[in-house]
Amino acid sequence: MKILIQAPEIIDIQSPFHQQQKNVLINNGKIAEIGDKNYSADRVIKAEGMKLSIGWFDLGTFIGDPGLEHKEDLESATKTAAAGGFTEIAVLPNTAPSVQSKNEISYITQNNSTRLVQVHALASVTRNNKGEELTEMIDLHEAGAIGFTDGLKTIWHTDIFLKALQYLQKFDGVLIDHPEDYWLNLFGHMHEGINSTRLGLKGMPRIAEEIMVGKNLELLAYAGGKLHFSRISSGKSLDMIKAAKKKLNVSCDITAYQALLDDSVLFDFDTNYKVSPPLREKSDIEALLKGLKDGTIDVICSGHTPHDAESKDLEFDLAEFGMINLQTFGSNLVALSQAVAWDVLLEKVTQAPRRLLNLEIPKIGVDEKANLTLFDPARTWKLDERTNFSKSKNSPWFGKEVTGKAVAVFNNSKQWIDSDIK
């Protein structure tokens, strides 16, 4: 089938067509033509005002498959990802069992060569993500694990952390760390500050993150290796990472919402805003925006963390951390584009995560495989029962109008096109 994407703006800093408005013809999974002609096609998508980039990549998506399928399974996760504009996702190992043997890897990555949304496996660093005993990381790497992390759990054990950094060097593997001091965040439910004081909730102080970033950078300097910090939330963490980048192989990501929302939204105890790391203050948002602009933050991720109503529609201190955000991620980007240029934002969602994980980076050029995302930054829509593809509904934007929506994705000779698109 031939599909013509008519007149989008191409955003791909590696492409000669970067920031040009062109017609793009896709034929049997390949980019057949890029130009100004009106190529004949079976389907035409009028895309003026839209942005065409290589397929978006989500680093660190939480799904519940295997074991917690009631939150999100592979099928719902891939549908949700496609509708959010992602052609590839790298999923966290916080499953049950955790991703710690070849079985889980092959289960997660099955059909990756043919499915629209490829699912990459991040494997556990320690057994059951407990931080105590290393997994068989070489074997997991051979089986297809693209990175190593305990996901939403911190690797608290200093010596295990050090050993992991050393061990991964055999195959240039990346250690992805969620920096969080266990004791300082214990029983914490939100950012520690004036708002946690007002709400009577135990806080999670910035230093709980910062001391772990500082400590782990020292370990990286000592051991060597490749370290990526996930879901950074504090400006001081970024300062340390920025300084370390001059001599160490270190990178980091943030969730898109972390640079948009502060903890004042928690005034009425809406558990959809209960996330980890917690939403912090306006000054932290400014520091994150600065980090996005100056390149300290390499990757932006959705932070998609689905939870069933039984884990989320509860008293605040009993509710789990996290929000779903694959489908609303694009609207987060629109909000971020007020402060950060589109090509900078999209590089952090496309090239940067693939580069970090040593994956092939798709290109926008004639005869290249079509791994593409078409995004409409002006489209207003609602995430609701009709449009939501996730099994969970824990989004602060559920039922509210947002601006910006992925309208089509292409990968592996397959495509998803928003049914509302004519």
Would you say 318 or 341 has its CB closer to another protein?
Answer: 318
Question: What is the greatest pairwise CA distance in the chain?
Answer: 63
Cβ atoms of 323 and 257 closer than 8 Å: yes
Among 13, 96, 186, 341, binds another protein (CB under 8 A): 186
Among 198, 282, 293, 400, binds another protein (CB under 8 A): 198
Verify binding: residue 268, another protein, rule CB under 8 A.
Answer: yes
Q: How far is residue 391's CA from residue 194's CA, in Å, rounded to a whole number?
A: 35
Would you say 273 or 375 has its CB closer to another protein?
Answer: 273
Among 269, 361, 363, 387, binds another protein (CB under 8 A): 269
**For residue 345, which of 314, 375, 322, 368 has the smallest C-alpha distance?**
375
Verify binding: residue 2, another protein, rule CB under 8 A.
Answer: no
CB atoms within 10 A of CB 283: 11
Verify binding: residue 265, another protein, rule CB under 8 A.
Answer: no
Question: Taking the complex as a whole, how short is the minimal distance between the CB of residue 273 and another protein, in angstroms?
Answer: 12
Verify binding: residue 421, another protein, rule CB under 8 A.
Answer: no
Q: Helix-strand-coil percent breakdown of the chain, rounded to 5? A: 30, 25, 45
**For residue 289, which of 240, 340, 253, 244 has the smallest C-alpha distance?**
340
Q: Kindly write out the interface string for residues 7-36 of this chain, putting x where it contacts another protein by CB under 8 A and - elsewhere.
A: ------------------------------
Question: Taking the complex as a whole, how short is the minimal distance between the CB of residue 189 and another protein, in angstroms?
Answer: 8
Question: Taking the complex as a whole, how short is the minimal distance between the CB of residue 193 and another protein, in angstroms?
Answer: 5
Question: Taking the complex as a whole, how short is the minimal distance between the CB of residue 407 and another protein, in angstroms?
Answer: 34
Would you say 81 or 184 has its CB closer to another protein?
Answer: 184
Question: Taking the complex as a whole, how short is the minimal distance between the CB of residue 272 and another protein, in angstroms?
Answer: 12
Q: Which residues lie across from 249 on neighbouring strands?
A: none
Would you say 308 or 368 has its CB closer to another protein?
Answer: 308
φ, ψ dihedrals at 179, nearest 5°: -75, 120
Per DSSP, the residues of 35-91 read ESS----SEEEE-TT-EEEEPEEEEEE---TTT-TTT--HHHHHHHHHHHTEEEEEE
Binding site for another protein (CB under 8 A): 186-187, 192-194, 196-203, 205, 268-269, 310, 313-318
